[in-house]
Amino acid sequence: MTTSDLLPAALGRRFPGAARGLAGLRVRLLTQRYPTTVDFGFALVVLVLTAATHGRHLHHHPGVWLLQVALVLPLTFRRRAPYAVFGVTAAVAFVQWLTSAGMPADIAVLLALYTVAAHCPRRRTLVAYGVAELGVVLAVTRWLPHNAFDSPLESWCKAAFMLSGATTAAAVLGLNVRARRAQLGALRERARELELQRDQQAALAVAEERSRIAREMHDIVTHNLSVMVALADGAVYANPHAPDRATAAMRQSAETGRQALTDMRRFLGVLRADEPDALRHPQPGLGQLEALAAQVRAAGLPTELRLDGDSAAISPGAQLTVYRLVQESLTNTLKHTAPGARAVVVVRCSAAAVQLEVRDDGRAVPGGSGSGSGGGPGGSAHVGHGLAGMRERAAAYGGGLTAGPLPGGGWRVAVTLDLGPDPQEVPPS
């Protein structure tokens, strides 16, 4: 005996209801896999039972066996061709009505009617029901049993009512099974749709998260590397005649590199709670804009910062968005403008919105590459991942971003973030 045999037995002893459920499940699975075989066994059972209750008549009339078999055995194919099986059983029943008396095997007509109602459209069910009711009228008219207590009309009505009730019950039961099957099918389809929607939402969430990661990594790496390159170039230039300034530039470059590593570790979720840099480099926000401006100034771009309004009510997600937008704009100005340019950052805070403007007065470096802002006409070529990421950040708060050259030279980036009751918060890095 295998484990699969022992399990139902154990369940049957401990949990009788569970054992019955397993038995029902096995029957359903067997019916789904081998419907014709199961129906053939069912037809044999019906044939044996009806023959046992009608054995004496069959013994004296062997030819009736043919009608018995012809009525019951077509039920073997009742699931494959329910309408055709009903037609065969109805035809055999009519031949029986013409040549013989009624017998218990006539129940095959009701079983076939039930199958039609359970599997066929309503129009065919109505036709089959009408044929079955006609058979009831013919059977009662010819085979009406004699009752000494009732008049012939009363006996006919009682017999017709009983047989018609059985016919109606078979049809209604089949319709109920069909409705239940349709409901279960609709529930399964709904479950499949929900599963598909869940998979699609998961895929969209993954794509959105990847886009956010790419945005953050671009801002962190691009800005800090640009500052480090500018500081290193300045140190090389100042080293022959101003070693102290070169040393300060290199120290600033090292500090910028350490900050970049800290930001990346925080963003990637591996910053330990006991790491000293965690306190030295808090989550970027409006409070860190001055440090950002100082960092850009040290890299050689004079930057003026104007912060108006109360920033205490601004959410951390919105502050991070403003910080990244300013960081990207200043990075592109640093990369794509010629020496001597100046930048101005203006941030206006209110309870309903944050307005940001970054502009410079520099001349674009010919053939410069980047993404986002940049001085002069050359800045129009600086569209890429950076500008796309800036637009995505602004769109997350229902805002729009405008970027373009200024009439007198230079470049301007303007953003308005909507801080309504339900802003789409950007997860902090």
First to last CA, the chain: 60
Burial 25-37 (b: 16+ CB within 10 A, else e): eeeeeeeeeeeee
Distance CA 29, CA 35 (A): 10
- DSSP per-residue letters across 38-100: HHHHHHHHHHHHHHHHTHHHHHH-TTHHHHHHHHHGGGGGTTTSHHHHHHHHHHHHHHHHHHS
Would you place residue 425 in the very low, low, confident or very high pLDDT band (cuts 50, 70, 90)?
Answer: very low
CATH 3.30.565.10 fits 301-429, yes or no: yes
Distance CA 211, CA 204 (A): 10
Angle subtended at Cα 111 by Cα 108 and Cα 115, rounded to the nearest 5 degrees: 135
Helix spans in 239-301 (H): 243-267, 277-280, 289-298
Which tens digits make up the pLDDT trace of 50-84? Answer: 877 766 666 666 667 788 888 899 999 998 899 99
Among 75, 69, 77, which residue's Cα sits nearest to residue 36?
77
Q: What angle do helix axes 385-395 and 316-336 make, rounded to 10 degrees?
A: 160
Asked whether 68 and 103 are in contact (CB, 8 A), the reply is: yes
The token duo for 315 is: 């959410």
Which tens digits make up the pLDDT trace of 204-262? Answer: 888 887 777 777 777 777 777 777 887 787 778 777 887 887 787 788 788 778 777 77
Which tens digits make up the pLDDT trace of 12-44? Answer: 555 555 555 555 556 666 667 778 888 888 889
Residue limits of CATH 3.30.565.10 in the chain: 301-429
Distance CA 364, CA 326 (A): 19
Task: State residue 120 phi and psi, 5-degree precision.
Answer: -105, 165
Distance CA 421, CA 84 (A): 66
